[in-house]
Amino acid sequence: MPDNAILAVEDVSLSFGGLAALSGVSFEVAPRTIHALIGPNGAGKTSLLNCFNHFYTPTAGRIRFEGRDITALAPHRIAALGIARTFQNIELFRGMTVLDNIKLGRHLHMGVGPLAALAYWGRARREEIRHRRFIEERVIDLLELEDIRDQVVGALPYGLQKRVELGRALAMEPKLLLLDEPVSGMNVEETQFLVRYVLDIREVWDVTILLIEHDMRVVMDISDRVTVMDFGRIIADGPPAAVQHDPGVVTAYLGEPGRREATA
């Protein structure tokens, strides 16, 4: 597996001052899988994701994407290699419409210069329409955003905003999609919808999904592989069924055994 892993995390450590957020984290994500990253609050999951985007710089170790070391690349270059991301606390452009937000996801696939843009003629115009069609057919249709495409994002309910953010990430046509708590704060119905979208995406697009999630039913249902973190370390890594019964994982989530029989 080491050779065909799409993402390889090799011995990554991160500390803020004297506080170690990550210590010696290593794991791999196989292509075209749904890989879940779980762990109690403060385990370092989001910090690790921030290392992938180079919002944080690891103090040691390296991160390889498709074999290439991306640890020191600028965030926009990492995006250009094919890594897209959604956030736990939505990071959309709130003043723009849904359509413009998703169009921005196409940025890396657009190449019009400023002068052509001023004139909106020839290539600029054709490109704009071509991408509009792509977005409508591949993203808006898949995520069922037709009726809100002209609405301003800031005015939409939370669940829809999460879906729009997923749409923007998808429009980038990423090879690796990082989802940071995609169903947090959602009710049962919204959660079911979003999980269906994630499965649809894996079905239709050639994409690997790495998700952080606290909803264990979702994680156990859809993941091919689960990596568990606690206090900045990996404590388990394997298929969902195996991880579920790992004594270390049970301890991390429920405390020392003995006080209560735990079947997660």
Binding residue (CB under 8 A) for other proteins from 75, 159, 238, 240: 75
Residues 113-172 that bind other proteins (CB under 8 A): 113-114, 116-120, 124, 127-129, 132-133, 136, 150-152, 168, 172
Q: Which range touches other proteins (CB under 8 A), out of 15-23, 101-109, 192-200, 212-220?
A: 101-109
Q: Give yes or no for residue 93 binding other proteins (CB under 8 A).
A: yes
- Smallest gap from Cβ 68 to other proteins, in A, equals 16
Structure tokens given for 231:
């206090």
The enclosing H or E element of 69 equals strand 68-69
Rg (CA), the chain: 20
Buried b (16+ CB within 10 A) or exposed e, 102-126: bbbbbebeeebeeeeeeeeeeebee
- Cβ proximity to other proteins: between 11 and 91 the closer is 91
Rounded distance, CA 54 to CA 18, Å? 20
Please give the residues from 21 up to 60 whose contact with other proteins meets the rule CB under 8 A: 53, 55
- Footprint on this chain of other proteins (rule: CB under 8 A): 53, 55, 74-76, 79-80, 84-85, 87, 91-97, 100, 103-108, 110, 112-114, 116-120, 124, 127-129, 132-133, 136, 150-152, 168, 172
